[in-house]
Structure 1
Amino acid sequence: MAQSLETLTAALLMAAKSAGADTADAIAVDGTSVSIDVLNGKLEHAERSEGIDIGLRVMIGQRQACVSASDTSPDTIQTIAARAVAMAQVAPDDDSIGLADPAQLASGWDAEALELYDPAPEPDPATLEENARRAEAAALATTGISQVQSASSGYGQRRIHLATSNGFSGGYARSSISTSCVAITGSGADMERDYYGDGRIFAADLESPEYIGEMAAQRTIERANPRKAHSGAYPVLYDERVSSSLMAHLLAAINGDSIVRGSSWLRDGLGEQILPTTMSLIENPLRPRTSSSKPFDGEGLPATPRSIIKDGTLTGWTLDLATARKLGLQSTANASRGTSAPPSPSVGNIALTQGDKSRAQLLADMGTGLLVTSLIGSSINATTGDYSRGAAGFWVEGGEIKYPVNECTIAGNLRDMLATLIPANDARSHLSRVVPSLLVEGLILA
């Protein structure tokens, strides 16, 4: 019988102690992934993977090392523990290294309340293939679609268990299911494409394959016969499907690793107004049925909601134990952990304050400018916040969409951009990043 993940992590800790480690933490992850691709109504590709990965971090004084493996035999566990200790003995000293104080560790969590795992039976490959086929057929049935580039459906599940030598042991499971479609209109050099997809934890929540195919087709047809955008300073409306990228740039700037290095354009922004005073940015790792929810972080600290930005003001950084110690602060329980590397800070679920206007109303307010639905490439200066990205979308005049545009560049500075945000009310609440369409004033288009 296969060992439980809890048993594996306990064995790793025991081996680390026997090999000479002062302290250690261990993680075990097992999972299944199934992916199905359909083309022209026929199965094109099917893939399934299963496996268990284990990871061990050992600490000797203020030195650490990490080792991982996909073999869980007792001999392998003993071997990787000995190797980790040998590596730690020659690693450089780092005063920020160390496990959490036992009083900081999570206890009494309820992983089931987060609804991260669908208890329904795993869908068989034929069901996933049928979902992809139905999405493709719906797209091809739409007038103006010349072909479907891809239609896919997938399922995944995994279990995670974390244990530390100072008393923490806990795990949880999560699952996911998805369907997506990429449609093409036109031919030759005049081809345009777009996509739509949906991913959920529970299969019952997934949008229908027909809707996914129809949405991919509709978006694609809207992009037919694009023109060039005007050059100059114009307002830009980031559609909900790409608006979260602005928050991603902000979150990268407040990540503890960037702050410790002094390489962030927000390194001096703590306590300053970053967004309009009507807007807040909330992280909630305990939101049910959301892909990035979790009961505890990668170092065993309890996951708790926090206001990253409150009423426009930046309240704190995103920290794990190491970055918090380097800055003389407390961890925000944002440690992310894989099997092959030490923890590092990262953010999961976020929600930005929504406005009281629809996207159409914001288009009317902007008058003339650009509606962005796709971003291409990225040139972001992490130190200054200077921003430049390729974009495609729609030209707007008189508050109405006039024609599609592509091959344009939008440029500005993130500090200035975030300070002028005007949110719509169209964010999708089931996503990990709940961010509505965002209107930004005065960007440079070329």
Structure 2
Amino acid sequence: MPHDLPALADALLSAARHAGADAADALAVKSTSLQIGVRAGALEEAERSEGVELGLRVLIGRRQACVSSSDARPDTLSRMAERAVAMAREAPEDPHAGLADPGQLATDLDASRLELADPAAEPDPAALEDAAREAEAAALATPGVTQVQSAGAAYGRTSVHLAASNGFAGGYDRTDNALSCVAISGTGTKMERDYDHDSRVFAADLRGAAEIGRIAGERAAERQGARRPKTGRYPVLYDERIASSLIGHLVQAINGTAVARGASFLRGALGEAVLPDGLSLIEEPHRPRIRGSRLFDAEGLPTARRALVEDGILQGWTLDLATARKLGMESTANAVRGPGGPPSPSAGNLTLTQGTASRADLIAQMGTGLVVTSMIGATINPNTGDYSRGASGFWIENGEVAYPVSEITVAGNLRDMLRRIVPANDARGWLGRVVPSLLVDGMTLAGD
């Protein structure tokens, strides 16, 4: 049954006012997803889901409460509002809770220029199955591959509408198209696994299924014969596939929630150097055909391009309204939320300054060291930045790949590591986080 999201959001606001709320905002989300998986040439998974989710946040003074439901019937909306108001009356006061002032709200609401939704029709399940089969076949045809753990294709479409009692009302549609393949080489205790995948807003932008399968197979085959290197201090190159995780630790440390709680190794670092000179980290929320792009945040504030780090210097925190009020600052329009909870701050599309050297150039410069292509687990102290993660990849000797490695640990301190990064020039421009391979000197490796 079709759902009119603006009408549902307005009905929730009306019900909240009738139940006694001083202020409220409502989020209505309609989604459709289709996922196909194959294994050993046979269809293994075929799932399709669709539904609507509704979220209501009410405020009574500085007390707030959130409720959610997947039932859009009118009597359910009334019960949601009554329950939310009853909860808010019993909630503790939060001096920082509250909606945006009307003058703060976004007025540019036409998201069409962001191209967030593919106008093409929902793909036929048979076409997704054919793509998954093609990826699997390409992986199996790669020398050294013994089996394919999974190959899949997926599609999703989401419609979002946000409305609030301060006068804001806006929404957008978004599509996701994905292909993936996980290949395995070797047998028994010598099996090694690797993958490739692609995810785009527009299906036409996806890389070919055969290419994804082939690359997954080649990566798995290259992992054969993995062993552990000697313990010591070496340079480590974070491959472009996982380099964004290193920058992600910086992003977490400047999140307003962590800063307001004092649980950040960068608390007090505003205006100080956190990256090498010449490197900047820019948030770009208006890039077309990028999943994380948006004209307004989850509190209705207009988004804009901004520098988190400029020429190595930390410029500001990532804030929503509540964390901004706690810190005596202005929101950076970084609020995100789901139907079931209040807003919280989160950074969106990010671009790190690229270097001039290629990944191969940086490997040649390393002499002896490690290229990390995958990581597992994490022991990170958010207060001190002490860092330790399991890793696998390739050992480098005399500037060339010597052999694959696994079951090792890389460790250091994030504040020191981030100050020493050397970027390559290999970032993929269509990702939400455009981060190249990153070389970090002097890390501790625990192996044999």
Question: TM exceeds 0.5?
Answer: yes
Residue number in structure 2 paired with 1:401: 401
Residue number in structure 2 paired with 1:369: 369
Mapped to 2, the partners of 1:2 and 1:380 lie a distance apart of 46
Mapped to 2, the partners of 1:86 and 1:124 lie a distance apart of 46
Residue number in structure 2 paired with 1:301: 301
1:38-437 pair list within 5 angstroms: 38-437=38-437
CA drift at 1:422: 0.3
Secondary structure at 1:218's aligned position in 2?
helix
Mapped to 2, the partners of 1:332 and 1:230 lie a distance apart of 46
Mapped to 2, the partners of 1:376 and 1:301 lie a distance apart of 37
Listed as ranges, the gaps of 5+ residues in structure 2 are none
Q: C-alpha offsets along residues 97-150 of structure 1, whole Å, 9 cap, x if unaligned? A: 110010110002330100100000110110111110000000011111111010
Structure 1 ranges of 4+ moved more than 3 A: none
Counterpart of 1:91 in structure 2: which amino acid?
Answer: A
Secondary structure at 1:198's aligned position in 2?
strand
Secondary structure at 1:426's aligned position in 2?
coil
Mapped to 2, the partners of 1:428 and 1:164 lie a distance apart of 37
Mapped to 1, the partners of 2:364 and 2:429 lie a distance apart of 25
CA drift at 1:229: 1.5
CA drift at 1:440: 0.2
Counterpart of 2:152 in structure 1: which amino acid?
Answer: S
Secondary structure at 2:317's aligned position in 1?
coil
CA drift at 1:348: 1.1
Counterpart of 2:341 in structure 1: which amino acid?
Answer: A
Secondary structure at 2:376's aligned position in 1?
strand
Counterpart of 1:440 in structure 2: which amino acid?
Answer: V
| Count, aligned residues | 446
Secondary structure at 2:82's aligned position in 1?
helix
Mapped to 1, the partners of 2:41 and 2:285 lie a distance apart of 40
Mapped to 2, the partners of 1:114 and 1:420 lie a distance apart of 35
Counterpart of 1:304 in structure 2: which amino acid?
Answer: A
**Inter-CA distance 189–57: structure 2 relative to 1 (3 Å threshold):** same
Mapped to 2, the partners of 1:3 and 1:418 lie a distance apart of 47
CA drift at 1:2: 3.4
**Inter-CA distance 227–2: structure 2 relative to 1 (3 Å threshold):** closer
Residue number in structure 2 paired with 1:30: 30
Q: C-alpha offsets along residues 159-210 of structure 1, whole Å, 9 cap, x if unaligned? A: 0000010100000000011110000111000111100000101010000000
Secondary structure at 1:373's aligned position in 2?
strand
CA drift at 1:340: 0.5
Counterpart of 1:127 in structure 2: which amino acid?
Answer: A
Mapped to 2, the partners of 1:252 and 1:143 lie a distance apart of 41
Counterpart of 2:165 in structure 1: which amino acid?
Answer: S
Q: C-alpha offsets along residues 232-270 of structure 1, whole Å, 9 cap, x if unaligned? A: 110000000010001111111111110111011111111
CA drift at 1:3: 3.7
Mapped to 2, the partners of 1:125 and 1:326 lie a distance apart of 49
Counterpart of 1:26 in structure 2: which amino acid?
Answer: A
Mapped to 2, the partners of 1:307 and 1:276 lie a distance apart of 15
Listed as ranges, the gaps of 5+ residues in structure 1 are none
Q: C-alpha offsets along residues 341-380 of structure 1, whole Å, 9 cap, x if unaligned? A: 0000001100000000100000011111000001011011
Asked whether the equivalents of residues 390 and 407 of structure 2 are also in contact (C-alpha less than 8 Å), the reply is yes
How high is the TM-score relative to the length of structure 2?
Answer: 0.99
Mapped to 2, the partners of 1:442 and 1:293 lie a distance apart of 36
Secondary structure at 1:67's aligned position in 2?
strand
Counterpart of 1:134 in structure 2: which amino acid?
Answer: E
Instruction: Give the RMSD, CA atoms, in angstroms.
Output: 0.7
Mapped to 1, the partners of 2:268 and 2:288 lie a distance apart of 34
Mapped to 2, the partners of 1:184 and 1:213 lie a distance apart of 11
Q: C-alpha offsets along residues 385-415 of structure 1, whole Å, 9 cap, x if unaligned? A: 0000000000001111110000100000001
Mapped to 1, the partners of 2:291 and 2:390 lie a distance apart of 29
Counterpart of 2:240 in structure 1: which amino acid?
Answer: E
CA drift at 1:40: 0.9
CA drift at 1:337: 1.1
Mapped to 2, the partners of 1:246 and 1:180 lie a distance apart of 23
Asked whether the equivalents of residues 108 and 295 of structure 2 are also in contact (C-alpha less than 8 Å), the reply is no
Counterpart of 1:302 in structure 2: which amino acid?
Answer: P
CA drift at 1:291: 1.1
Matched, 1:445 2:445: yes
Secondary structure at 2:263's aligned position in 1?
coil
Mapped to 2, the partners of 1:303 and 1:230 lie a distance apart of 48
